[in-house]
Structure 1
Amino acid sequence: MTGRVLGVDACKAGWVGIVLAGDEVAAIFAPTIAELVLLADADGVAQVVAIDIPIGLPDQGVRAADELARQAAGPRWKSVFSTPARQALRAENHATANALHREAGAKGISQQAYGLRKKIFDVDDWVRGQQRRVVEVHPELSFAAMASAPLTDRKTTWAGVERRRALLAAEGVLPAGDLGAAGHVAGVDDVLDAAAAAWSARRVLCGTAVCRPEEPEVFSDGLRCAIWT
């Protein structure tokens, strides 16, 4: 099956996306998820959008998707953080978020997870009005699926970057050139992660993706929660 898909990863300045359409591999950048998808849709609607950000926030406890993703990531399991409860992410500071998260039956919330709250809510607000397929992905799982085994080198090391570039090139989804705005504002690892997300988006469109858990969870927000590869 051919079609147009978008893979998305967060970067410091906003969001970086990789659009796959036939043999086209294009990079885009925008400060918000809504603006990014508008850019992706400029030459045709992206049928699937795959985003490396939690979609579906738990009311308490730990999401099954995060637990299963951590198992599948192997040596890179630390890259999969537990998604905080919604009320914890709404807190005005990390200390309060930590307390609320423990009250919700989970361990303390990391600074990294709390620091992503603005981007999490950017997607949380946007996704509710979407008719297209929008799924959550985790690039480490996407790369593991490409390699048929979890990767061992961190994505910020030379070896890690080269391994990921080789995997994307073999799948025909490696971005090339200066990448325009995306190449100027996004880190190398952000671009490679967005390309891995696009690879998983294409698998979702083709019906070959793996869903963790097999039956998505649904919390009080009504969103289907699962991680796809």
Structure 2
Amino acid sequence: MSDIESHDPFAVARSGSRPRWRPASRSAQAGRSAHAGRRALGLDGTPRGWMAVVVCDGQLDDAFVVPLASQAIARVRPAAVAVDMPVGLVDEAGRDADTAARRLLAGAASTVFTPPPRAVIEAWRQGEVTSHGEASALARAVTGTGVSQPAWRLVPKIAEIDQLAAGWGNGLRECHPELAFRQLTGGDRLPRKRSWDGVMRRRALLA
């Protein structure tokens, strides 16, 4: 059995370094088994796979990078998973969840993107859609609206999570970081997340 070495998430994001593989210790495996029922896993896509953050009893327990989301789930064996990726795809022009999120994120609604319809994800899985142009053409035929470039780049990860969600039911939930931060501030809008003030404010909220 293999595991992935933990990293400081900010260092990983800055360096873009590859995660290093090492065997999991017996004590680490035993600890995970003992706390499995109280552990929650958060996942967010990165260019090298998935950033995973583990919370146990309300405290940060671990943070690491894995190529596949399923590897993080196998390592942590969490009671619940929250992922910053669309869950629950439809063949319509937009989802109710996205509309509600934009309404709650007044002033920052653009942080919520519209995912491709399920038809595009299924066609990509079958190899019938291999380019942004093909994806947009299919989406327009199904919903009347094309697929944005950012959404197209996320198709592999959306498909990966869609497959995982089928076996997890309500245990795997979609989340939105900016919506979570808006909740933590009591509804106040934060500075842009890529600004120094924005980074510091968000880190303070998570401290």
Paired amino acid for 1:83? P
Could you tell me which of 37, 50, 65 is aligned with 1:15? 50
Residues in 1 aligned to 2:89 and 2:169: alpha-carbon distance in whole angstroms = 20
Task: Give the letter aligned to residue 107 of structure 2.
Answer: P
Q: Superposed, which structure 2 residues align to 1:22-171 within 5 Å?
A: 22=57, 23-41=59-77, 46-89=78-121, 90=124, 91-130=129-168, 133-169=171-207
> TM-score, normalized by length of structure 2?
0.74
Contact 2:182 2:190 in 1 (8 A): no
RMSD value, Cα? 1.7
Mapping of residues 209-228 of structure 1, within 5 Å: none
User: Which segments of 5 or more consecutive residues in structure 2 lack a partner in the other structure?
Assistant: 1-36
**How far apart are 1:155 and its partner, in Å?**
1.3
Report how far residue 49 of structure 1 moved: 0.4
| d(CA) in 1 for partners of 2:53, 2:46 | 13
Letter of the 2:62 counterpart: A
Q: Which residue of 2 aligns with 1:202?
A: none
Cα gap change, 1:24 to 1:82, in 2 (>3 Å): closer
Runs of 4+ in 1 over 4 A off after TM superposition: none
Q: Deviations over 1:64-119 (max 9, x none)?
A: 00111111112221110112112224221111111121222243211000100000
Task: Considering Cα pairs closer than 8 Å and 6+ residues apart, tell me whether 1 or 2 has the greater RCO.
Answer: 1
Distance 1:55 1:68 in 2: 15
- Give the structure-1-normalised TM-score: 0.67
Gaps spanning 5+ residues in structure 1: where?
170-229
How many aligned residue pairs are there?
164
CA distance in 1, matches of 2:170, 2:136: 34
CA contact (8 A) 1:17 1:27 kept: yes
Q: Is the radius of gyration larger for structure 1 or structure 2?
A: 2
